[in-house]
């Protein structure tokens, strides 16, 4: 049970970092900001759809949180460059 809470807490913290990194990119404006905004929306819609189907098919909430954490970490790496 502790692991589930840990994963949820880390997802929240890691997501806040990605939100900050994206905000900085969007605040800079220009073509890169436009690309990031489009990418952000398509990623969110695709992830929500995919994970919703996984839940419907019987995936555990823990596995969905772990999947989101992988995506958030990938975004943090990409935005940190």
Q: How far is CA 38 from CA 31, 41, 46, 61, in A?
A: 11, 5, 12, 28
From the number of C-beta atoms within 10 Å of its C-beta (0-12, 13-18, 19+), residue 63 rates as: middle
What is the domain range of residue 23?
Answer: 2-80
Overall average pLDDT of the 67-79 stretch: 97
pLDDT for 14-61, tens place per residue? 999 999 999 999 999 999 999 999 999 999 999 999 999 999 999 999
d(Cα 26, Cα 24) in Å, to the nearest integer? 5
Q: What is the C-alpha to C-alpha distance for residues 12 and 65, in angstroms, rounded to an integer? A: 10
The tally of domains found in the chain comes to: 1
Query: What pLDDT is attached to residue 1?
Result: 75
């Amino acid at each position: 049970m502790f692991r589930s809470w840990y994963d949820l807490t880390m997802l929240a913290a890691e997501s806040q970092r990605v939100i900050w990194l994206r905000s900085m990119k969007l605040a800079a404006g220009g073509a890169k900001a436009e690309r990031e905004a489009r990418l952000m929306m398509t990623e969110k819609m695709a992830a929500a759809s995919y994970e919703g189907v996984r839940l419907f098919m019987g995936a555990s909430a823990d596995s969905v949180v772990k999947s989101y954490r992988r995506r958030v970490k990938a975004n943090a790496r990409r935005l940190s460059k």
